[in-house]
Chain A
Amino acid sequence: MTLAASILAGDRLSLARLLTQVENDSPAGRAALMELFPHTGRAHLIGVTGAPGTGKSSLVNQLALHYRKQADKRVAVVAVDPSSPFTGGAVLGDRVRMRDLSGDPNVFIRSMASRGSLGGLAQATAGMVQVFDAAGFDVILIETVGAGQSEVDIARLAHTTLVVEAPGLGDDIQAIKAGILEIADILVINKADRPGVENTEKALKSTLELAHPTQRVFHHHGRYSYATVETPFDAKLWIPPIQKTVSTEGRGIPELVEAIARHAEHLRTSGDWAARERARLEVELEMLIQEALVARFREDVPPQQFRQVVDRMVQRDVSPWEAVQSLLNGRSK
């Protein structure tokens, strides 16, 4: 039986091992992803992002508990923490807040290191999510690296993106800057029992009032990536709700889960679900093409030639752009 087949049959050890293969981008991992791909596209992908210390892990823990107890859904968690830029090592500590989930065979938590990616996810996160999707998990919670202002990759991957804030983290100027707040489908003010919660709520509310709802087509590396399925003009626009939670006590969680369900319903009725699905696959395709082209380029250009061009750049003989031209023209002779 192939690795992919045993995962479809529900084997947890094979699942864990395949996640490693996918994370390491091994040939076996790629082969299994191909086999599993037709079985994907069923899960609800929920992204959870926000600054470090806002309580993302605890919130994920509570959401997973709720989906297990109230809805009997199978829940997977992918939790990303940063890798050291110097040693490549990492301490992945999100499980510390998720101990309530242990002992339940219908929950599967996987920690992953960002391994040099800067967008708040790791390069292999999308692949790992596909594996969980194919394995029959209904809800996949994706927790990003503690994200500051522009780590917005999660919005390209998830159907529903929660941006988690906490009282006392910034003023209303922070709230009108571009970036992370724009990607929120739902704004969560966690630690809502803390002083200052009114100010945070006010700042976020005024942001939402200033914003005019826009069509969500993403810039990808500075370019638009078009979603070809378009939202009809008369479709209702989604205004991100603000949900207050105290995740250590489970307060506000049922209301948050309801808001997530409303968002999923909105995506389906407006046609946005299909549009996002299409945009996501387009982005993934484009990234894989880039990877493949770079790999092919590296195979074609001998390291010696590459070094020579760098030498000439150092001597100011050629500009970086001329260097690119000469390497691209010089290949596959």
Chain B
Amino acid sequence: MSDKKIRVLVAKPGLDGHDRGAKVVARALRDAGMEVIYTGLRQTPEMIAEAALQEDVDVVGLSILSGAHMALAPRILDLLKGNGQTHVKVFLGGIIPDEDLPRLKEMGVTGVYGPGANTEDIINDIRGALAEKA
């Protein structure tokens, strides 16, 4: 039986130790029928790109609360491209100031979500972004 599941890597790059948000999102995506690979805290961009490659994911979700998103996001996007994973959609969650949004989108981040974001929206946006690609 051929059945393509959406595979999502949920990762926390950088040094902040708050993974509740990442876990809530991982659980919500699971309940939406997706396969979520959860990698835990304090991942380097290299570790995240390597896991994304080995797991052949469609989506990478990054949770960043440390304020380092303008350094971490572009680095991870570059590494994904370097590995040939240009089709992977990157989503970002955490404390992200509004003024950074245009630059993040320009770099290639597909969606950004702050506190209070609705998990339904995240699920729909992921499905929408992947449908566009197909």
Q: CA of A20 to CA of B29 in the docked complex: distance in angstroms?
A: 19
- Whether a CB of chain A sits under 8 angstroms from the CB of B27 is yes
Q: Are B35 and A90 closer than 8 Å at their CB atoms?
A: yes
Q: In the complex where A87-B31, A91-B36, A95-B38 touch, is A110 in contact with B5 (Cβ < 8 A)?
A: no
Q: How far is the CA of A12 from the CA of B3 in the complex (A)?
A: 23
| Known contacts A24-B4, A25-B1: A103-B36 contact under CB 8 Å | no
A-B contact count (CB 8 A): 84
Q: Which of B48-56, B60-68, B99-107, B114-122 contacts the other chain?
A: B48-56
Q: Does A218 count as interface, using CB distance less than 8 angstroms?
A: no
Pair A108/B30 contact, Cβ less than 8 Å: no
Docked Cα-Cα span, A19 to B26, in Å, equals 22
B-side interface mostly: mixed
Contact A92 B85 (CB under 8 A): no
User: Interface centre among B1, B46, B85, by most A CB within 10 Å?
Assistant: B1
Instruction: Specify which chain B residues have a CB less than 8 angstroms from the CB of A113 in the assembled complex.
Output: 5, 35
| Pair B35/A92 contact, Cβ less than 8 Å | yes
Query: What CA separation (Å) do A24 and B39 show in the bound complex?
Result: 23
Interface: B84 (CB within 8 A): yes
Please pick, from B29, B35, B50, B53, the residue contacting A103 in the complex, using a CB distance under 8 A.
Answer: B50
Select one of A84, A91, A111 contacting B55, CB under 8 A.
A111
- Chain A 54-95 against B: per-residue CB contact (8 Å), 1 yes, 0 no? 000000000000000000000000000001100111111101
Say yes or no: A13 contacts B85, CB within 8 Å. Answer: yes
Q: Which residues of A contact B55 (CB under 8 A)?
A: 16, 110-111
Quick one: which of A13, A16, A19, A89 contacts B29, CB cutoff 8 A?
A89
Q: Which partner residue on chain B sits nearest A13 by CB separation? A: B84
Q: Is the interface of A mostly helix, strand, loop or mixed?
A: mixed
A102 an interface residue at 8 Å Cβ cutoff? yes
Cross-interface CB contact of A90 among B1, B30, B54, B56, cutoff 8 Å: B30
How close is A65's CB to chain B, nearest CB, in angstroms? Answer: 16
- Binary flags per residue of A306-331, CB closer than 8 Å to B gives 1, else 0: 00000000000000000000000000
Q: Judging by beta carbons under 8 Å apart, are A89 and B31 in contact?
A: yes
A156 to B21: give the CA distance in the assembly, Å.
40
A143 CB to closest chain B CB (Å) equals 14
Give which listed residue, B2, B35, B39, B56, contacts A95 with CB less than 8 A.
B39
Residue of B nearest to A15 (CB): B54
User: A84–B84 contact, CB under 8 A?
Assistant: no
The CA of A17 and the CA of B7, in the complex, are separated in Å by 12
B54: which of A89, A99, A108 is its contact (CB, 8 Å)?
A108
Q: CA separation between A59 and B7, bound complex, in Å?
A: 25
Q: A210 near B: Cβ within 8 Å?
A: no
Chain A's closest residue to B40 (CB) is A96
A109 within 8 A of B: yes
Cross-chain contact A87 with B33 (CB below 8 angstroms): yes
The distance in angstroms between the C-alpha atoms of A240 and B131, with both chains bound, is 52
CB pair B47 A89 closer than 8 Å:
no
Report the Cα distance A99→B39, complex, angstroms.
8
Expressed in whole angstroms, the Cα–Cα distance for A99 and B38 within the complex equals: 12
Are the CB atoms of B51 and A102 closer together than 8 Å? yes
A2 within 8 A of B: no
- With an 8 A cutoff between CB atoms, is B124 at the interface? no
> Is A26 in contact with chain B by the CB < 8 A criterion?
yes
Known contacts A24-B2, A84-B30, A88-B5: does B36 contact A95 (CB below 8 Å)?
no
Task: Note all chain A residues with C-beta closer than 8 A to B30.
Answer: 84, 87, 89-91
> A99 is contacted by which of B27, B32, B37, B40 (Cβ under 8 Å)?
B40
How far, in angstroms, from A25 to B5 measured CA to CA in the complex? 12
22 contacts between A and B (CB under 8 A): A12-B54, A13-B53, A24-B4, A24-B5, A87-B30, A89-B32, A90-B35, A91-B26, A91-B27, A92-B35, A92-B37, A95-B37, A95-B38, A96-B38, A96-B40, A102-B46, A102-B47, A102-B50, A109-B51, A110-B55, A113-B5, A115-B5
Listed in ascending order, the chain B residues whose CB lies under 8 Å from chain A are 1-5, 7, 26-27, 29-40, 43, 46-47, 50-51, 53-56, 83-85
Q: 8 tightest CB-CB pairs across the interface, nearest first?
A: A96-B40, A89-B30, A16-B56, A102-B47, A89-B33, A20-B56, A87-B33, A88-B33
